A and B are shown apart, each in its own frame.
Chain A
Amino acid sequence: MSPLTAAFDDRARRTPEAPALIWRGTAVPYGELGALAGVFQERLRHLGGDRAAPVCVPARRTPETLALLVAALRDGRPVLLPSAELGADTLRELTAGAGIDRVLTAEPSYDGPGGLGVETVVPRADAPAVPEGTGLLLTTSGSTGTPKVVPLPLDAVGRFTAWAAEHFGLGPDTAVLNYAPLNFDLCLLEVWSTLAAGGRVVLVDPDRATDGAHLRELISAHDVHLVQGVPLLYRLLAEGADPAEPLKSVRHVVLTGDAVPPRLLARLPGLFPDASFANVYGCTETNDSLILDAGPLLPADPETAGPLPLGRPLPGVRALVLGEDGRPLEGPGTGELLVHTPFQAHGYLDPARGADRFVRRADADGPRVWFRSGDLVRRTADGTLHLVGRTDFQVKVRGLRISLEEVEQTLLAHPEVADAVVVTVPDEAAGKRLQALVRRVPGSALHVLALREHCARRLARTAIPSDIRVTDAALPKGPTGKNDRAAVGDVRRLKG
Protein backbone atom coordinates (compact mmCIF):
# COMPACT_ATOMS: atom_id res chain seq x y z
CA MET A 1 0.00 0.00 0.00
CA SER A 2 1.54 3.24 -1.13
CA PRO A 3 0.53 6.61 0.30
CA LEU A 4 0.67 7.99 -3.24
CA THR A 5 -2.10 5.67 -4.39
CA ALA A 6 -4.03 5.15 -1.14
CA ALA A 7 -6.08 8.32 -1.52
CA PHE A 8 -6.59 7.57 -5.21
CA ASP A 9 -7.85 4.05 -4.49
CA ASP A 10 -10.09 5.34 -1.75
CA ARG A 11 -11.64 7.76 -4.23
CA ALA A 12 -11.99 5.01 -6.87
CA ARG A 13 -13.90 2.88 -4.35
CA ARG A 14 -16.17 5.58 -2.98
CA THR A 15 -16.94 7.73 -6.02
CA PRO A 16 -15.98 5.59 -9.01
CA GLU A 17 -17.93 7.81 -11.40
CA ALA A 18 -16.12 11.02 -10.41
CA PRO A 19 -13.75 12.19 -13.15
CA ALA A 20 -10.05 11.69 -12.43
CA LEU A 21 -8.76 12.83 -15.79
CA ILE A 22 -9.99 14.89 -18.69
CA TRP A 23 -8.33 13.66 -21.86
CA ARG A 24 -9.12 14.85 -25.39
CA GLY A 25 -12.54 16.07 -24.33
CA THR A 26 -13.52 12.92 -22.44
CA ALA A 27 -13.67 12.31 -18.71
CA VAL A 28 -11.86 9.25 -17.37
CA PRO A 29 -13.56 8.39 -14.04
CA TYR A 30 -11.62 7.29 -10.95
CA GLY A 31 -13.27 3.87 -11.11
CA GLU A 32 -12.22 3.29 -14.71
CA LEU A 33 -8.66 4.47 -14.18
CA GLY A 34 -8.41 2.33 -11.04
CA ALA A 35 -9.70 -0.72 -12.92
CA LEU A 36 -7.21 -0.19 -15.74
CA ALA A 37 -4.48 0.07 -13.12
CA GLY A 38 -5.71 -3.28 -11.77
CA VAL A 39 -5.28 -4.87 -15.20
CA PHE A 40 -1.73 -3.50 -15.40
CA GLN A 41 -1.03 -4.76 -11.90
CA GLU A 42 -1.91 -8.30 -13.01
CA ARG A 43 0.28 -8.04 -16.08
CA LEU A 44 3.19 -6.73 -14.03
CA ARG A 45 2.89 -9.64 -11.63
CA HIS A 46 2.90 -12.08 -14.54
CA LEU A 47 6.22 -10.70 -15.69
CA GLY A 48 7.73 -12.57 -12.75
CA GLY A 49 10.61 -11.54 -10.58
CA ASP A 50 10.47 -9.43 -7.43
CA ARG A 51 7.00 -7.93 -7.18
CA ALA A 52 8.38 -4.72 -5.64
CA ALA A 53 11.32 -4.34 -8.06
CA PRO A 54 11.67 -0.86 -9.56
CA VAL A 55 10.62 -0.34 -13.17
CA CYS A 56 11.17 2.35 -15.77
CA VAL A 57 8.15 4.02 -17.40
CA PRO A 58 8.88 6.72 -20.00
CA ALA A 59 6.67 9.70 -19.20
CA ARG A 60 4.07 9.83 -21.93
CA ARG A 61 1.11 12.02 -21.07
CA THR A 62 -1.73 9.51 -21.55
CA PRO A 63 -4.35 8.07 -19.19
CA GLU A 64 -2.89 4.60 -19.86
CA THR A 65 0.55 5.70 -18.65
CA LEU A 66 -0.97 7.14 -15.48
CA ALA A 67 -2.83 3.86 -14.86
CA LEU A 68 0.44 1.97 -15.29
CA LEU A 69 2.14 4.26 -12.77
CA VAL A 70 -0.67 3.69 -10.28
CA ALA A 71 -0.34 -0.08 -10.83
CA ALA A 72 3.39 -0.08 -10.13
CA LEU A 73 3.10 2.20 -7.09
CA ARG A 74 0.28 0.06 -5.63
CA ASP A 75 2.70 -2.87 -5.45
CA GLY A 76 5.37 -0.67 -3.90
CA ARG A 77 7.49 -0.59 -7.03
CA PRO A 78 9.57 2.56 -7.33
CA VAL A 79 9.14 4.03 -10.82
CA LEU A 80 11.91 5.65 -12.79
CA LEU A 81 10.06 8.27 -14.83
CA PRO A 82 12.33 9.69 -17.53
CA SER A 83 11.35 12.00 -20.37
CA ALA A 84 9.57 10.20 -23.19
CA GLU A 85 11.79 12.17 -25.57
CA LEU A 86 15.03 10.45 -24.57
CA GLY A 87 16.92 8.63 -27.30
CA ALA A 88 16.76 4.83 -27.13
CA ASP A 89 20.41 4.49 -26.10
CA THR A 90 20.22 7.13 -23.38
CA LEU A 91 17.03 5.55 -22.05
CA ARG A 92 18.67 2.11 -21.83
CA GLU A 93 21.82 3.57 -20.26
CA LEU A 94 19.79 5.49 -17.68
CA THR A 95 17.69 2.42 -16.82
CA ALA A 96 20.67 0.07 -16.58
CA GLY A 97 22.55 2.64 -14.48
CA ALA A 98 19.65 2.72 -12.01
CA GLY A 99 19.82 -1.08 -11.67
CA ILE A 100 16.45 -1.49 -13.37
CA ASP A 101 15.77 -4.33 -15.82
CA ARG A 102 12.47 -3.35 -17.45
CA VAL A 103 11.21 -0.44 -19.49
CA LEU A 104 7.43 -0.48 -19.61
CA THR A 105 5.10 1.39 -21.92
CA ALA A 106 1.34 1.45 -21.70
CA GLU A 107 -0.20 1.07 -25.13
CA PRO A 108 -3.47 2.82 -26.01
CA SER A 109 -6.29 0.40 -25.39
CA TYR A 110 -7.74 0.05 -28.90
CA ASP A 111 -8.54 -3.67 -28.78
CA GLY A 112 -8.47 -4.49 -25.11
CA PRO A 113 -7.34 -2.74 -21.98
CA GLY A 114 -3.91 -2.99 -20.48
CA GLY A 115 -1.68 -3.36 -23.54
CA LEU A 116 1.82 -3.38 -22.15
CA GLY A 117 5.12 -2.94 -23.96
CA VAL A 118 8.05 -4.54 -22.15
CA GLU A 119 11.69 -3.99 -23.03
CA THR A 120 14.28 -5.91 -21.06
CA VAL A 121 17.50 -4.16 -20.08
CA VAL A 122 20.60 -5.67 -18.50
CA PRO A 123 21.12 -3.64 -15.32
CA ARG A 124 24.64 -2.49 -14.54
CA ALA A 125 26.24 -4.74 -11.97
CA ASP A 126 27.59 -1.78 -9.98
CA ALA A 127 24.30 0.12 -10.02
CA PRO A 128 23.39 1.70 -6.66
CA ALA A 129 20.34 0.22 -4.93
CA VAL A 130 17.15 2.27 -5.03
CA PRO A 131 16.63 3.47 -1.43
CA GLU A 132 13.89 1.89 0.66
CA GLY A 133 10.69 3.92 0.60
CA THR A 134 11.28 5.51 -2.82
CA GLY A 135 8.18 6.37 -4.85
CA LEU A 136 9.22 8.08 -8.03
CA LEU A 137 12.70 8.44 -9.48
CA LEU A 138 12.80 11.66 -11.45
CA THR A 139 15.69 12.91 -13.53
CA THR A 140 17.35 16.30 -13.60
CA SER A 141 17.01 18.31 -16.75
CA GLY A 142 20.72 18.98 -17.13
CA SER A 143 21.67 19.89 -20.67
CA THR A 144 24.90 17.89 -20.64
CA GLY A 145 25.65 14.22 -20.03
CA THR A 146 23.34 11.53 -18.67
CA PRO A 147 20.65 13.02 -16.45
CA LYS A 148 21.07 12.50 -12.70
CA VAL A 149 18.45 10.31 -11.03
CA VAL A 150 16.61 11.78 -8.04
CA PRO A 151 14.83 9.21 -5.83
CA LEU A 152 11.86 10.92 -4.16
CA PRO A 153 10.81 9.26 -0.89
CA LEU A 154 7.11 8.41 -0.73
CA ASP A 155 6.72 10.17 2.59
CA ALA A 156 8.31 13.34 1.19
CA VAL A 157 5.86 13.29 -1.73
CA GLY A 158 3.03 12.72 0.75
CA ARG A 159 4.07 15.79 2.74
CA PHE A 160 4.11 17.79 -0.47
CA THR A 161 0.69 16.70 -1.70
CA ALA A 162 -0.76 17.50 1.74
CA TRP A 163 0.76 20.99 1.69
CA ALA A 164 -0.39 21.62 -1.89
CA ALA A 165 -3.97 20.48 -1.22
CA GLU A 166 -4.26 22.81 1.72
CA HIS A 167 -2.46 25.79 0.21
CA PHE A 168 -4.29 25.73 -3.12
CA GLY A 169 -7.61 24.43 -1.85
CA LEU A 170 -7.57 21.20 -3.86
CA GLY A 171 -10.47 18.83 -3.30
CA PRO A 172 -12.98 16.58 -5.09
CA ASP A 173 -14.44 19.51 -7.01
CA THR A 174 -11.28 21.10 -8.27
CA ALA A 175 -9.79 20.79 -11.74
CA VAL A 176 -6.07 21.36 -12.30
CA LEU A 177 -4.45 21.89 -15.68
CA ASN A 178 -1.55 19.56 -16.40
CA TYR A 179 0.76 21.31 -18.83
CA ALA A 180 4.16 20.05 -17.65
CA PRO A 181 5.49 16.77 -19.04
CA LEU A 182 4.79 13.91 -16.63
CA ASN A 183 8.48 13.53 -15.74
CA PHE A 184 8.75 17.11 -14.39
CA ASP A 185 8.59 17.66 -10.64
CA LEU A 186 5.81 20.17 -11.44
CA CYS A 187 3.52 17.14 -11.84
CA LEU A 188 3.75 16.44 -8.11
CA LEU A 189 1.38 19.39 -7.90
CA GLU A 190 -0.48 19.19 -11.20
CA VAL A 191 -1.11 15.42 -11.22
CA TRP A 192 -0.29 13.72 -7.94
CA SER A 193 -1.59 16.34 -5.52
CA THR A 194 -4.77 16.66 -7.56
CA LEU A 195 -5.41 12.90 -7.63
CA ALA A 196 -4.57 12.58 -3.93
CA ALA A 197 -7.19 15.24 -3.23
CA GLY A 198 -9.80 13.55 -5.43
CA GLY A 199 -9.83 16.35 -8.01
CA ARG A 200 -9.60 16.04 -11.77
CA VAL A 201 -6.53 16.55 -13.89
CA VAL A 202 -7.13 18.26 -17.20
CA LEU A 203 -4.38 16.79 -19.37
CA VAL A 204 -3.12 18.96 -22.19
CA ASP A 205 -2.79 16.91 -25.35
CA PRO A 206 0.94 17.17 -26.19
CA ASP A 207 0.02 17.58 -29.87
CA ARG A 208 -1.87 20.80 -29.08
CA ALA A 209 0.36 22.15 -26.32
CA THR A 210 1.38 25.25 -28.29
CA ASP A 211 -2.16 26.17 -29.39
CA GLY A 212 -3.09 29.11 -27.13
CA ALA A 213 -6.74 29.18 -28.20
CA HIS A 214 -7.08 25.47 -27.45
CA LEU A 215 -5.47 25.93 -24.01
CA ARG A 216 -7.86 28.78 -23.14
CA GLU A 217 -10.79 26.69 -24.31
CA LEU A 218 -9.61 23.76 -22.18
CA ILE A 219 -9.37 25.97 -19.08
CA SER A 220 -12.82 27.52 -19.60
CA ALA A 221 -14.64 24.36 -20.65
CA HIS A 222 -13.39 22.29 -17.72
CA ASP A 223 -13.65 24.93 -15.04
CA VAL A 224 -9.93 24.80 -14.24
CA HIS A 225 -9.15 25.96 -10.68
CA LEU A 226 -5.34 25.95 -10.79
CA VAL A 227 -2.92 26.66 -13.61
CA GLN A 228 0.80 26.16 -13.17
CA GLY A 229 3.42 26.77 -15.79
CA VAL A 230 6.64 28.19 -17.09
CA PRO A 231 6.55 31.59 -18.85
CA LEU A 232 5.92 29.90 -22.21
CA LEU A 233 2.48 28.71 -21.07
CA TYR A 234 1.45 32.20 -20.00
CA ARG A 235 2.72 33.68 -23.24
CA LEU A 236 0.61 31.18 -25.18
CA LEU A 237 -2.43 31.96 -23.03
CA ALA A 238 -2.00 35.75 -23.22
CA GLU A 239 -1.28 36.06 -26.94
CA GLY A 240 -4.44 36.44 -28.93
CA ALA A 241 -6.65 36.31 -25.84
CA ASP A 242 -9.95 38.19 -26.10
CA PRO A 243 -10.05 40.73 -23.23
CA ALA A 244 -13.83 40.24 -23.09
CA GLU A 245 -13.37 36.55 -22.28
CA PRO A 246 -11.03 36.23 -19.31
CA LEU A 247 -10.34 32.87 -17.66
CA LYS A 248 -12.72 33.35 -14.76
CA SER A 249 -12.68 29.85 -13.27
CA VAL A 250 -9.01 30.04 -12.31
CA ARG A 251 -8.40 30.75 -8.60
CA HIS A 252 -4.67 30.01 -8.47
CA VAL A 253 -2.00 30.87 -11.00
CA VAL A 254 1.40 29.40 -10.21
CA LEU A 255 4.37 30.95 -11.97
CA THR A 256 7.45 28.79 -11.92
CA GLY A 257 10.57 27.62 -13.73
CA ASP A 258 11.87 30.96 -14.89
CA ALA A 259 11.30 34.67 -14.51
CA VAL A 260 8.19 35.85 -16.36
CA PRO A 261 9.05 38.98 -18.38
CA PRO A 262 7.42 42.08 -16.82
CA ARG A 263 5.37 42.89 -19.92
CA LEU A 264 3.80 39.43 -19.81
CA LEU A 265 3.26 39.66 -16.03
CA ALA A 266 1.31 42.87 -16.50
CA ARG A 267 -1.20 41.07 -18.73
CA LEU A 268 -1.95 38.29 -16.25
CA PRO A 269 -4.39 40.06 -13.89
CA GLY A 270 -6.62 40.83 -16.89
CA LEU A 271 -6.41 37.27 -18.14
CA PHE A 272 -7.11 35.71 -14.72
CA PRO A 273 -9.35 38.30 -13.00
CA ASP A 274 -10.34 36.08 -10.05
CA ALA A 275 -7.01 34.40 -9.35
CA SER A 276 -4.30 34.85 -6.79
CA PHE A 277 -0.78 34.58 -8.12
CA ALA A 278 2.05 32.61 -6.59
CA ASN A 279 5.64 32.73 -7.75
CA VAL A 280 7.06 29.37 -6.76
CA TYR A 281 10.72 28.42 -6.63
CA GLY A 282 11.88 24.84 -6.50
CA CYS A 283 13.78 22.12 -8.25
CA THR A 284 13.57 18.37 -8.80
CA GLU A 285 15.88 17.61 -5.88
CA THR A 286 13.96 19.58 -3.24
CA ASN A 287 10.58 20.26 -4.83
CA ASP A 288 8.92 23.60 -4.09
CA SER A 289 10.93 25.60 -1.60
CA LEU A 290 10.01 29.27 -1.75
CA ILE A 291 6.77 31.04 -2.49
CA LEU A 292 5.73 34.61 -3.12
CA ASP A 293 2.27 36.11 -3.15
CA ALA A 294 2.87 37.83 -6.46
CA GLY A 295 -0.55 39.42 -6.96
CA PRO A 296 0.21 42.80 -5.44
CA LEU A 297 3.37 43.15 -7.58
CA LEU A 298 1.80 42.39 -10.96
CA PRO A 299 0.25 45.75 -11.84
CA ALA A 300 3.64 47.50 -11.70
CA ASP A 301 4.72 49.49 -14.74
CA PRO A 302 6.30 46.86 -17.01
CA GLU A 303 8.77 49.42 -18.35
CA THR A 304 10.38 49.83 -14.95
CA ALA A 305 9.50 46.59 -13.14
CA GLY A 306 12.24 44.12 -12.39
CA PRO A 307 11.80 40.36 -12.09
CA LEU A 308 9.56 39.09 -9.26
CA PRO A 309 11.24 38.17 -5.97
CA LEU A 310 11.46 34.46 -5.15
CA GLY A 311 9.66 35.04 -1.90
CA ARG A 312 10.08 33.22 1.40
CA PRO A 313 10.45 29.62 2.54
CA LEU A 314 7.35 27.39 2.51
CA PRO A 315 6.25 25.97 5.89
CA GLY A 316 8.94 23.59 7.12
CA VAL A 317 11.51 24.80 4.58
CA ARG A 318 14.82 26.23 5.76
CA ALA A 319 16.96 28.51 3.63
CA LEU A 320 20.61 29.46 4.05
CA VAL A 321 22.44 32.11 2.06
CA LEU A 322 26.16 31.40 1.91
CA GLY A 323 28.45 34.35 1.41
CA GLU A 324 31.64 34.29 -0.62
CA ASP A 325 33.57 33.01 2.40
CA GLY A 326 31.26 29.98 2.63
CA ARG A 327 29.64 31.17 5.87
CA PRO A 328 25.89 31.75 6.21
CA LEU A 329 24.81 35.38 6.02
CA GLU A 330 22.85 36.51 9.04
CA GLY A 331 21.04 39.47 7.55
CA PRO A 332 20.72 40.97 4.10
CA GLY A 333 23.29 40.14 1.43
CA THR A 334 24.05 38.12 -1.67
CA GLY A 335 25.22 34.51 -1.86
CA GLU A 336 24.39 30.97 -2.90
CA LEU A 337 21.05 29.60 -1.73
CA LEU A 338 20.97 26.33 0.21
CA VAL A 339 17.62 24.80 1.10
CA HIS A 340 16.35 21.99 3.24
CA THR A 341 12.74 21.00 2.57
CA PRO A 342 10.32 18.41 3.96
CA PHE A 343 9.79 17.32 0.34
CA GLN A 344 13.36 16.71 -0.72
CA ALA A 345 15.39 13.72 -1.86
CA HIS A 346 18.16 12.54 0.44
CA GLY A 347 20.63 12.57 -2.43
CA TYR A 348 21.04 11.45 -6.02
CA LEU A 349 20.67 7.73 -6.72
CA ASP A 350 24.39 7.67 -7.47
CA PRO A 351 25.83 9.34 -4.34
CA ALA A 352 29.13 9.99 -6.12
CA ARG A 353 27.39 12.47 -8.41
CA GLY A 354 25.86 14.50 -5.63
CA ALA A 355 28.66 14.89 -3.13
CA ASP A 356 28.98 18.58 -3.96
CA ARG A 357 25.24 19.30 -4.16
CA PHE A 358 23.75 17.49 -1.15
CA VAL A 359 25.80 18.71 1.79
CA ARG A 360 25.53 18.11 5.52
CA ARG A 361 25.82 21.11 7.72
CA ALA A 362 24.35 22.25 10.97
CA ASP A 363 22.07 25.17 11.59
CA ALA A 364 20.83 26.35 14.99
CA ASP A 365 18.72 23.19 15.41
CA GLY A 366 21.37 20.65 14.49
CA PRO A 367 22.83 18.99 11.42
CA ARG A 368 20.76 18.26 8.33
CA VAL A 369 21.17 17.64 4.61
CA TRP A 370 20.98 20.78 2.50
CA PHE A 371 20.74 21.12 -1.22
CA ARG A 372 23.11 23.58 -2.83
CA SER A 373 20.85 25.21 -5.38
CA GLY A 374 23.57 26.78 -7.49
CA ASP A 375 21.38 29.88 -7.49
CA LEU A 376 22.75 33.20 -6.49
CA VAL A 377 20.23 35.10 -4.38
CA ARG A 378 19.95 38.44 -2.66
CA ARG A 379 18.21 38.58 0.70
CA THR A 380 16.67 41.90 1.63
CA ALA A 381 16.19 43.21 5.16
CA ASP A 382 12.66 41.78 5.43
CA GLY A 383 13.91 38.28 4.59
CA THR A 384 12.59 38.18 1.03
CA LEU A 385 14.86 36.35 -1.41
CA HIS A 386 15.54 37.64 -4.92
CA LEU A 387 17.15 35.65 -7.69
CA VAL A 388 20.33 37.19 -9.06
CA GLY A 389 21.30 34.31 -11.35
CA ARG A 390 23.05 30.97 -11.43
CA THR A 391 26.37 30.73 -9.65
CA ASP A 392 27.49 28.94 -12.84
CA PHE A 393 26.54 32.01 -14.84
CA GLN A 394 28.50 34.33 -12.65
CA VAL A 395 31.59 35.44 -14.48
CA LYS A 396 34.50 37.68 -13.72
CA VAL A 397 35.34 40.27 -16.33
CA ARG A 398 38.31 42.48 -15.48
CA GLY A 399 37.98 41.54 -11.85
CA LEU A 400 34.33 42.49 -11.63
CA ARG A 401 31.82 39.76 -10.77
CA ILE A 402 28.99 39.86 -13.29
CA SER A 403 25.82 37.79 -13.44
CA LEU A 404 25.01 36.97 -17.06
CA GLU A 405 21.37 36.73 -16.13
CA GLU A 406 21.34 40.12 -14.50
CA VAL A 407 22.64 41.63 -17.75
CA GLU A 408 19.96 39.71 -19.64
CA GLN A 409 17.28 41.08 -17.33
CA THR A 410 18.60 44.59 -17.94
CA LEU A 411 18.37 44.13 -21.71
CA LEU A 412 14.87 42.62 -21.36
CA ALA A 413 13.77 45.70 -19.46
CA HIS A 414 14.04 47.71 -22.71
CA PRO A 415 10.53 48.04 -24.16
CA GLU A 416 11.62 46.96 -27.64
CA VAL A 417 13.55 43.89 -26.53
CA ALA A 418 11.63 40.64 -26.88
CA ASP A 419 14.40 38.27 -25.81
CA ALA A 420 18.04 38.39 -24.83
CA VAL A 421 20.90 36.04 -24.09
CA VAL A 422 24.27 37.04 -22.66
CA VAL A 423 27.38 34.87 -22.96
CA THR A 424 31.11 35.17 -22.59
CA VAL A 425 33.77 34.25 -25.11
CA PRO A 426 37.49 34.01 -24.37
CA ASP A 427 39.37 37.23 -24.95
CA GLU A 428 43.13 37.60 -25.05
CA ALA A 429 43.23 41.00 -23.45
CA ALA A 430 40.43 40.86 -20.90
CA GLY A 431 40.27 37.11 -20.26
CA LYS A 432 36.56 37.05 -20.97
CA ARG A 433 34.51 39.12 -23.33
CA LEU A 434 30.85 39.74 -22.57
CA GLN A 435 28.49 39.37 -25.52
CA ALA A 436 24.77 39.80 -25.99
CA LEU A 437 22.37 38.55 -28.61
CA VAL A 438 19.09 40.40 -28.56
CA ARG A 439 15.84 39.77 -30.40
CA ARG A 440 13.80 42.93 -30.88
CA VAL A 441 10.01 42.97 -30.88
CA PRO A 442 8.40 42.63 -34.33
CA GLY A 443 8.39 45.87 -36.28
CA SER A 444 10.97 47.51 -34.08
CA ALA A 445 13.92 49.37 -35.58
CA LEU A 446 15.86 49.09 -32.33
CA HIS A 447 19.59 49.28 -32.88
CA VAL A 448 22.59 48.65 -30.78
CA LEU A 449 23.30 52.29 -29.84
CA ALA A 450 19.94 52.77 -28.16
CA LEU A 451 20.44 49.50 -26.28
CA ARG A 452 23.88 50.58 -25.12
CA GLU A 453 22.49 53.84 -23.76
CA HIS A 454 19.82 51.81 -21.97
CA CYS A 455 22.51 49.56 -20.44
CA ALA A 456 24.77 52.48 -19.55
CA ARG A 457 22.01 53.92 -17.37
CA ARG A 458 21.66 50.67 -15.42
CA LEU A 459 24.91 48.72 -15.43
CA ALA A 460 28.52 49.21 -14.44
CA ARG A 461 30.55 49.91 -17.57
CA THR A 462 32.34 46.54 -17.37
CA ALA A 463 28.96 44.79 -17.32
CA ILE A 464 27.88 46.37 -20.63
CA PRO A 465 28.49 43.66 -23.22
CA SER A 466 31.45 44.34 -25.50
CA ASP A 467 29.49 43.02 -28.43
CA ILE A 468 25.76 43.36 -28.84
CA ARG A 469 24.00 41.94 -31.88
CA VAL A 470 20.38 42.77 -32.56
CA THR A 471 18.39 40.20 -34.51
CA ASP A 472 14.83 39.46 -35.57
CA ALA A 473 15.40 35.72 -35.37
CA ALA A 474 14.53 33.43 -32.45
CA LEU A 475 17.32 32.84 -29.92
CA PRO A 476 18.69 29.36 -29.22
CA LYS A 477 16.65 27.59 -26.51
CA GLY A 478 17.05 24.39 -24.52
CA PRO A 479 14.28 21.82 -24.03
CA THR A 480 12.61 23.75 -21.20
CA GLY A 481 12.64 27.04 -23.07
CA LYS A 482 15.58 28.51 -21.22
CA ASN A 483 18.42 30.17 -23.08
CA ASP A 484 20.90 27.72 -24.59
CA ARG A 485 24.06 29.73 -24.07
CA ALA A 486 26.32 27.05 -25.50
CA ALA A 487 24.51 27.28 -28.84
CA VAL A 488 25.01 31.04 -29.18
CA GLY A 489 28.70 31.03 -30.09
CA ASP A 490 30.67 34.19 -30.72
CA VAL A 491 28.12 36.81 -31.77
CA ARG A 492 30.74 38.61 -33.85
CA ARG A 493 30.43 35.78 -36.36
CA LEU A 494 26.71 36.35 -36.83
CA LYS A 495 25.43 38.38 -39.73
CA GLY A 496 23.77 41.60 -38.69
Chain B
Amino acid sequence: MNRPAEIKRFLISEFLPDLSADQLDPDYDLLATGVIDSLQVVRVVNWVTTRYGVPLDQVEITPGDFRSVNAIDAFVTAFEETRSHHVHA
Protein backbone atom coordinates (compact mmCIF):
# COMPACT_ATOMS: atom_id res chain seq x y z
CA MET B 1 0.00 0.00 0.00
CA ASN B 2 1.33 3.43 -0.85
CA ARG B 3 1.71 6.01 1.89
CA PRO B 4 -1.36 8.22 1.19
CA ALA B 5 -3.55 5.10 1.16
CA GLU B 6 -2.04 3.96 4.42
CA ILE B 7 -2.53 7.38 6.06
CA LYS B 8 -6.09 7.37 4.83
CA ARG B 9 -6.73 3.92 6.26
CA PHE B 10 -5.38 5.02 9.64
CA LEU B 11 -7.52 8.18 9.72
CA ILE B 12 -10.66 6.32 8.71
CA SER B 13 -10.19 3.55 11.26
CA GLU B 14 -9.49 6.04 14.03
CA PHE B 15 -11.87 8.89 13.32
CA LEU B 16 -14.30 8.06 10.53
CA PRO B 17 -15.64 4.56 11.19
CA ASP B 18 -18.53 4.80 8.71
CA LEU B 19 -16.49 5.85 5.72
CA SER B 20 -14.90 4.01 2.82
CA ALA B 21 -11.46 5.06 1.51
CA ASP B 22 -12.77 6.51 -1.74
CA GLN B 23 -15.11 8.88 0.13
CA LEU B 24 -12.25 10.69 1.85
CA ASP B 25 -10.76 13.24 -0.50
CA PRO B 26 -7.00 13.49 0.13
CA ASP B 27 -7.37 17.27 0.46
CA TYR B 28 -10.37 17.17 2.85
CA ASP B 29 -9.70 19.55 5.75
CA LEU B 30 -9.86 17.33 8.82
CA LEU B 31 -9.18 20.15 11.28
CA ALA B 32 -11.64 22.80 10.13
CA THR B 33 -14.44 20.25 10.01
CA GLY B 34 -13.75 18.85 13.46
CA VAL B 35 -12.87 15.30 12.37
CA ILE B 36 -9.68 15.74 14.36
CA ASP B 37 -9.72 18.08 17.33
CA SER B 38 -6.77 19.67 19.09
CA LEU B 39 -6.39 16.70 21.43
CA GLN B 40 -6.75 14.07 18.76
CA VAL B 41 -4.14 15.70 16.58
CA VAL B 42 -1.61 14.43 19.13
CA ARG B 43 -2.70 10.87 18.31
CA VAL B 44 -2.16 11.52 14.62
CA VAL B 45 1.26 13.05 15.25
CA ASN B 46 2.26 10.03 17.35
CA TRP B 47 1.14 7.56 14.73
CA VAL B 48 2.76 9.41 11.82
CA THR B 49 6.08 9.94 13.58
CA THR B 50 6.23 6.33 14.81
CA ARG B 51 5.10 4.74 11.56
CA TYR B 52 7.46 6.74 9.34
CA GLY B 53 10.33 7.10 11.80
CA VAL B 54 10.15 10.88 12.15
CA PRO B 55 12.04 11.84 15.32
CA LEU B 56 9.86 14.37 17.14
CA ASP B 57 12.85 16.32 18.44
CA GLN B 58 14.26 16.91 14.96
CA VAL B 59 11.26 18.40 13.21
CA GLU B 60 9.12 21.43 13.74
CA ILE B 61 5.47 20.48 13.86
CA THR B 62 2.50 22.70 13.23
CA PRO B 63 -1.08 21.41 13.40
CA GLY B 64 -1.49 22.50 9.77
CA ASP B 65 0.87 19.68 8.76
CA PHE B 66 -1.92 17.29 9.75
CA ARG B 67 -4.78 19.08 8.07
CA SER B 68 -5.42 16.43 5.40
CA VAL B 69 -4.15 13.16 3.95
CA ASN B 70 -2.09 15.08 1.42
CA ALA B 71 -0.73 17.45 4.07
CA ILE B 72 0.43 14.53 6.22
CA ASP B 73 1.97 12.83 3.21
CA ALA B 74 3.76 16.05 2.26
CA PHE B 75 5.01 16.42 5.83
CA VAL B 76 6.57 12.95 5.75
CA THR B 77 7.99 13.52 2.27
CA ALA B 78 9.55 16.81 3.38
CA PHE B 79 11.13 15.09 6.36
CA GLU B 80 12.54 12.28 4.21
CA GLU B 81 14.04 14.81 1.82
CA THR B 82 15.83 16.71 4.62
CA ARG B 83 17.07 13.41 6.04
CA SER B 84 18.52 12.33 2.69
CA HIS B 85 20.29 15.70 2.48
CA HIS B 86 21.80 15.07 5.90
CA VAL B 87 22.97 11.59 4.85
CA HIS B 88 24.66 12.87 1.70
CA ALA B 89 26.17 15.91 3.35
Contacts and interface: CB of A to CB of B under 8 A. Distances in A.
B72 to A, nearest CB: 16
A414 interface: no
Contacts of B32: 456, 461
B55 interface: no
Given A449-B24, A455-B33, 4 more contacts: A429-B39, A447-B19, A449-B16, A469-B18
Interface in A52-89: none
A449 B28 contact: yes
B74 interface: no
A466 interface: yes
24 contacts: A429-B39, A430-B39, A447-B18, A447-B19, A447-B23, A448-B19, A449-B16, A449-B19, A449-B23, A449-B24, A449-B25, A449-B28, A449-B33, A452-B33, A452-B34, A456-B29, A456-B34, A464-B33, A466-B34, A466-B37, A469-B18, A470-B18, A492-B17, A496-B17
A416 to B, nearest CB: 15
B35 A452 contact: yes
Interface of A: 429-430, 447-449, 452-453, 455-456, 461, 464-466, 469-470, 492, 496
Nearest to A452: B33
Smallest CB-CB A-B distances: 7 pairs: A464-B34, A496-B18, A452-B33, A456-B33, A456-B32, A429-B39, A453-B33
Interface residues on B, range: 10 to 19
Interface centre among B18, B24, B28, B39 (most CB of A within 10 A): B18
Contacts of A492: 17
A483 to B, nearest CB: 21
Contacts of B34: 452, 455-456, 461, 464-466
Contacts of B24: 449
Interface string B34-62: 11010100000000000000000000000
Nearest to B37: A466
A465 B29 CA distance: 15
Contacts of A429: 39
Contacts of B17: 492, 496
B39 A448 contact: no
A452 to B, nearest CB: 4
Interface centre among A429, A448, A449, A456 (most CB of B within 10 A): A449
A458 B53 CA distance: 38
Contacts of B23: 447, 449
Nearest to A465: B34
Contacts of A448: 16, 18-19
Contacts of A464: 33-34
Contacts of A465: 34
Contacts of A496: 17-18
A465 B34 CA distance: 7
A383 to B, nearest CB: 35
B18 to A, nearest CB: 3
Contacts of A456: 29, 32-34
A141 B35 CA distance: 37
A455 B39 CA distance: 20
A429 B37 CA distance: 11
A215 B18 CA distance: 40
A252 B33 CA distance: 43
Contacts of A466: 34, 37
Nearest to A430: B39
A462 to B, nearest CB: 8
Nearest to A447: B23
A109 B32 CA distance: 66
B63 to A, nearest CB: 12
A449 B27 CA distance: 12
A492 B18 CA distance: 10
Contacts of B19: 447-449
A444 to B, nearest CB: 14
A469 B35 CA distance: 12
A456 B34 CA distance: 8
A470 B39 CA distance: 24
Nearest to B34: A464
A489 to B, nearest CB: 16
A449 B82 CA distance: 34
Contacts of B28: 449
B79 to A, nearest CB: 27
A468 to B, nearest CB: 9
A496 B25 CA distance: 20
B73 to A, nearest CB: 18
Nearest to B42: A429
A298 B31 CA distance: 36
A430 B37 CA distance: 10
A448 B19 CA distance: 8
Contacts of A447: 18-19, 23
A11 to B, nearest CB: 60
A448 B33 CA distance: 10
A18 B8 CA distance: 73
A461 B24 CA distance: 20
